[in-house]
Amino acid sequence: MIIVTHTDLDGICSAALFIRKYGNNVEIQYASVKEAKELHQSGFSPDYTCDLPKIGRSINIDHHKSNYEDLVTNNRMSEDDLVNPKASSATELVFRYLKFSDDPVALQIRELGNLADTAQLPMEYKPLDVILNLNNSNYIVMRDISNLLALEGKNILETEWLAFQYKQVAKEYSETRLKIDSFIEKYQIFPRILILDTRGKINEKLAKEVFQPLFHFNIAIIALVYMKTPEEPLKISLRVKKSEQENYDVSLVAKALNGGGHRMAAGCNPNPQDFPLNLINELKKIKKPTDSIETMIL
């Protein structure tokens, strides 16, 4: 059995549920959205694709609105696929697909996947989140996390493995948070729609740490700009504040800029030559009349 899943915590939790169900012999491949599309174009066809666009003739378990629309438009949805944009996470759908019910560890994994993908991850999970973010191209670490979650559930937080791994990254995380806190202290007043460029200022793998502290202010949308890899010189992650989720749909912005996602969370890789005008123009289409849009550098 071969499963391709996303490199974020929702994808990791989805993998953990398959391992919980079928054991450590399950082959897991971790991929970004871009890598998943390349695998599809190469003709590769795993058994399952989770939290990603459908690869080949695999069974697709996903909750991204853009993926659902693409499958319907191109007539690629099969009876076996479970793609539901209204689901909290792909983990939630994998839980249903694998027919878990009262397994306590599986329930904990489902809860973690839901919390992670609805931007409600408790601080107690921060060490795990930081380890994953700084190792999202290290497939050994991602497999270790998947295996430990499948075995321990929430108790992964008490393992020696987690303590050791966090010790390796704690200093960099602390330094990043200091830079974010200094930025917030310097400005304190922010626009309703903030385009925040973090390129060259902090480790791109920790760029998403800006969301939680900044959403304590009167910001409705954050468009986070960072460089993910040399092959992706401009990456934009869009997030909507939870209390504003009924008022905005950032998936429309991402889709217009060759990306996709959900109402509250989406991403894209626009042409660097057109930035930031293309992003601002798309944000203007979803903003309210009184909303201000401003670009700031961390």
- What pLDDT sits at residue 230? 67
Q: Is the pLDDT of residue 245 over 80?
A: yes
Question: What is the 3-state secondary structure of 230-293?
Answer: CCECCEEEEEECHHHCCCCCCHHHHHHCCCEECCCEEEECCCHHHCCHHHHHHHHHHCCCCCCE
Q: Is the pLDDT of residue 199 over 80?
A: yes
Contact 259, 266 (CB under 8 A): yes
Q: What is the mean pLDDT of residues 188-210?
A: 93
Q: What is the mean pLDDT of residues 191-209?
A: 93
Q: Is the pLDDT of residue 86 over 80?
A: yes
Q: Which residues lie below 8 Å from residue 172, measured CB to CB, with a gap of 6+?
A: 134, 203, 206
Cβ atoms < 10 Å from Cβ of 181: 11
Q: Is the pLDDT of residue 261 over 90?
A: no
Q: Whose CA is closest to 129, among 96, 81, 177, 88?
A: 177
The whole-angstrom separation of Cα 269 and Cα 246 is 25
Distances from the Cα of 32 to the Cαs of 92, 139, 263, in angstroms? 20, 12, 20
- Full-model pTM: 0.87
Residue 262 class from Cβ within 10 Å (0-12 exposed, 13-18 middle, 19+ buried)?
buried
Distance, CA of 184 to chain centre: 24
The pLDDT confidence band at residue 132, using thresholds 50, 70 and 90, is very high
Enter the tokens of residue 248: 């905005």
Q: What is the mean pLDDT of residues 120-136?
A: 91
Q: What sign results for the dihedral spanned by CA atoms 282, 286, 289, 294?
A: negative
Contact 130, 207 (CB under 8 A): no
- What pLDDT sits at residue 229? 67
Residue 107: CA count within 13 A, CB half-sphere? 4
Q: Whose CA is closest to 67, among 98, 41, 36, 43?
A: 36
Which tens digits make up the pLDDT trace of 13-29? 999 999 999 999 999 99
- What pLDDT sits at residue 234? 87
**What is the residue type of 138?**
N
**What is the residue type of 215?**
F
Per CATH, domain 176-297 is 3.40.50.2000: no
Q: Where are the domains of the chain?
A: 2-158, 176-297
Distances from the Cα of 204 to the Cαs of 61, 66, 98, 113, 157, in angstroms? 28, 25, 35, 23, 25
Which tens digits make up the pLDDT trace of 159-188? 999 999 999 999 999 999 999 999 999 998
- What pLDDT sits at residue 49? 98
Distances from the Cα of 186 to the Cαs of 60, 179, 181, 288, 297, in angstroms? 45, 11, 9, 27, 12
Which tens digits make up the pLDDT trace of 34-74? 899 999 999 999 999 999 999 999 999 999 988 999 999 99
